[in-house]
Chain A
Amino acid sequence: MDFVFYLISAFAVGGALAAVLLKNLVHAALALTIAFFGLALLFLRLDAQFAGFAQILVYVGAVAILVVFAILLTKGSEVPKEGVFSKSWFAGLAISAGVFAVLAWAVLQAAPSLPNETAAPAVTVNDIGNALMSRYVLPLEIIAVLLTAALLGAVIVAMHEKAGPKQSAGAPGPSLLGTGERRNS
């Protein structure tokens, strides 16, 4: 382990801690972005270019934006004086510590069983693409279907209230909008 690793780790851990401890929600979201970025740097440090850049593209470019949008578009973006700590913070701490302990134990247990390679394998993006399109094509497709279903679900949730009055006035809507219709009419 070297200096750069500790620097990046401090960056990521500091961001994550700030995300938990800061009182302002938007600040917390921005600090979370720092943690995401630190993780991406760790991936890059391990020569995993694809994972690192995909991490930045997806998490910094999309997830972080989604988080801040959600904070701004929902009520209660005004920060209360006493901060935003939930009352059950101790339970949350215990659960996350437990999860961390289990994961750390699993990683430490698995480490000796890994093949002890002296040279790091050179995995190019090309190799990842080939693997995704040949050996792992089924999981990829299943994830694609899952994401499409999630997308449709999100659209239906978003359409719910807007389409409600129109649906009750005119033609019967699809069954998925049933509950909304009943409430509106």
Chain B
Amino acid sequence: MTERLDQIFVVLKHWLLGYLPESWQTPVGVVISVVCIIGLYPALFAITTVLERKGVGRMQNRLGPNRVGPYGILQPMADGIKSLTKEDIVPTSADAVVHFLAPVILVVTVFMGFAVLPMGRNMVLVDMDAGLLFYFAMGASTELSVFMAGWSSRNKYSLLGAMRAVAQMISYEVALLLSSVVIVMMTGSLSLVKIVEAQNHYSYGFPHWFIFTPWGLAAFIMYAIAGTAETNRSPFDLPEGESELVAGYHTEYSGFKFALFFLGEYVAMFSISGLGSTLFLGGWMAPFSGLQFIPSWIWFFGKLFVSMCVFIWLRGTLPRLRQDQLMNFAWKFVLPMCLLNLFVAGLWRFMGEGWLRWLVCSAILILAYVSLGREGMRRQKFGPRSYRYAE
């Protein structure tokens, strides 16, 4: 029974394919999986928007949406219909072709990332040998669409927002890549399925997730920071800083194109969270060996849900960074820590089993963290604030 429930989607797909002739099975199977992915994540996106608006509302001491349906849960339906029926305005001076292509490319590249994410036991669209590389290649392509959106709008706020977004994404992409390289070093594979399998064993009921090692924890923290910045989420949401830039690079988008940007942002969050849980939190694995009877896909989406809640929580609590703080943080703190972490992971690998490597690796990382933090804070001068008004 447990086995059946665990594999229910795989079995269902094979059952459906059984009705088709042999030569059709592979292409139709791929199409079914793709349609599932494309249908599932927008649905999750709809649920998350309500969750976010209610959650942030609660944190800001207000009610949030509560008019459409019980407790406002039908709000995304209303929003969807609204954005579909709204007029699609393209500014006269805008570059029409690029303006049209930008949201399309964004959504396409964001969805491509899911092709290699294992969402459950045997539930991966393509088990690529270079899966992680594919994921990052697709992630890198989203930057271009952000630039296209900002540039083609012919609006200074859009362009400024796009420049900020691209600068931020490039800076934090380095950290994102370097923090994931550690995992590749330890598993010896770029395939995400193999990375999950490498974590798939338990001792004393506890799993061997990579986050439960000194280098894994450090890499996870760096990954979480870089992932938040990569998806332009608060506290790294300068590209859309509404007090300065109206709405950043999608200022000049309306109607369904705006909805596509919105969708792209949230789906990118899902995909970054999914990759994070695959790399560090054991993907579809249960957190205790006693809980393995619960289907694997529930664990994957449960981890996704928890990380979305953390994203919302962060948005509700943290103030926005300034541009110089953002860049200094990326290049002077996150990047050195990531580089050091590579070295620590190598040390861990060659020190052999035993408690000594735990001690040495933790000591190096904590020492580096404290001294880098101290060094960074020492330069700051904390005094009474001074304001300079525009003349």
Whether the Cβ atoms of A53 and B148 lie closer than 8 Å is no
Q: Which of B129, B148, B163 contacts A30 (CB 8 A)?
A: B148
Q: Which residue of B lies closest to A37 (CB)?
A: B141
Whether the Cβ atoms of A57 and B137 lie closer than 8 Å is yes
Q: How far is the CB of A179 from chain B (nearest CB, A)?
A: 27
Docked CA distance A72–B143 (Å): 15
A13 partner residues in chain B, CB cutoff 8 A:
none
Whether the Cβ atoms of B133 and A64 lie closer than 8 Å is no
Q: How far is the CB of A69 from chain B (nearest CB, A)?
A: 7
A33 partner residues in chain B, CB cutoff 8 A:
144
**A9 contacts the other chain (CB 8 A):** no
**A50 contacts the other chain (CB 8 A):** yes
Of residues A49, A61, A64, A65, which shows the largest number of chain B Cβ atoms within 10 Å of its Cβ? A61
**A124 contacts the other chain (CB 8 A):** yes
Q: How far is the CB of B93 from chain A (nearest CB, A)?
A: 13
Of residues B128, B130, B134, B188, which shows the largest number of chain A Cβ atoms within 10 Å of its Cβ? B130
Q: How far is the CB of A4 from chain B (nearest CB, A)?
A: 14
Whether the Cβ atoms of A60 and B144 lie closer than 8 Å is yes
Whether the Cβ atoms of A26 and B133 lie closer than 8 Å is no
**A68 contacts the other chain (CB 8 A):** yes
B237 partner residues in chain A, CB cutoff 8 A:
none
**B151 contacts the other chain (CB 8 A):** yes
Whether the Cβ atoms of A53 and B166 lie closer than 8 Å is no
Docked CA distance A97–B130 (Å): 36
**B155 contacts the other chain (CB 8 A):** no
Q: Mark B114-152, 1 if CB is under 8 A from A, else 0.
A: 000000000000001110011011111101100110010
Q: Which of A57, A65, A68, A72 contacts B133 (CB 8 A)?
A: A57
Docked CA distance A124–B130 (Å): 8
Docked CA distance A68–B124 (Å): 36
**B25 contacts the other chain (CB 8 A):** no
Docked CA distance A94–B233 (Å): 50
**B285 contacts the other chain (CB 8 A):** no
Q: Which residue of B lies closest to A66 (CB)?
A: B170
Whether the Cβ atoms of B129 and A53 lie closer than 8 Å is no
Docked CA distance A50–B190 (Å): 10
Q: Mark A66-109, 1 if CB is under 8 A from B, else 0.
A: 00110010000000000000000000000000000000000000
Docked CA distance A69–B133 (Å): 24
Whether the Cβ atoms of A72 and B130 lie closer than 8 Å is no
Q: How far is the CB of A181 from chain B (nearest CB, A)?
A: 25
Docked CA distance A125–B128 (Å): 10
Docked CA distance A41–B128 (Å): 15
A57 partner residues in chain B, CB cutoff 8 A:
133, 136-137, 140
Whether the Cβ atoms of A65 and B166 lie closer than 8 Å is yes
Whether the Cβ atoms of B141 and A60 lie closer than 8 Å is yes
Q: How far is the CB of A64 from chain B (nearest CB, A)?
A: 6
Whether the Cβ atoms of B190 and A65 lie closer than 8 Å is no
**A146 contacts the other chain (CB 8 A):** no
Docked CA distance A60–B147 (Å): 12
A49 partner residues in chain B, CB cutoff 8 A:
128-130, 133-134
Docked CA distance A27–B101 (Å): 12
B362 partner residues in chain A, CB cutoff 8 A:
none
Whether the Cβ atoms of B130 and A125 lie closer than 8 Å is yes
**A151 contacts the other chain (CB 8 A):** no
Q: Which residue of B lies closest to A26 (CB)?
A: B151
Docked CA distance A26–B143 (Å): 15
Q: How far is the CB of B288 from chain A (nearest CB, A)?
A: 32
Q: Which of A30, A53, A65, A125 contacts B143 (CB 8 A)?
A: A65
**A62 contacts the other chain (CB 8 A):** yes
Q: How far is the CB of B327 from chain A (nearest CB, A)?
A: 13
A50 partner residues in chain B, CB cutoff 8 A:
130, 133
A62 partner residues in chain B, CB cutoff 8 A:
140, 170
Docked CA distance A125–B95 (Å): 41
Docked CA distance A68–B148 (Å): 10
Q: Which residue of B lies closest to A73 (CB)?
A: B163
Q: Which of B185-239 contact A (CB under 8 A)?
A: 188-190
Whether the Cβ atoms of B133 and A53 lie closer than 8 Å is yes
**A126 contacts the other chain (CB 8 A):** yes
Whether the Cβ atoms of A56 and B188 lie closer than 8 Å is no
Q: Which residue of A lies closest to B139 (CB)?
A: A61
Interface residues of B (CB under 8 A from A): 95, 98, 128-130, 133-134, 136-141, 143-144, 147-148, 151, 159, 163, 166, 170, 173, 188-190
Interface residues of A (CB under 8 A from B): 26-27, 30, 33, 40, 49-50, 53-54, 56-57, 60-62, 64-65, 68-69, 72, 124-126
In the complex, besides A53-B130, A53-B134, A61-B140, 15 extra interface pairs with C-beta distance below 8 angstroms are: A27-B95, A27-B98, A30-B98, A40-B137, A49-B129, A56-B137, A57-B133, A61-B139, A62-B140, A65-B166, A65-B170, A69-B166, A72-B159, A125-B129, A126-B189
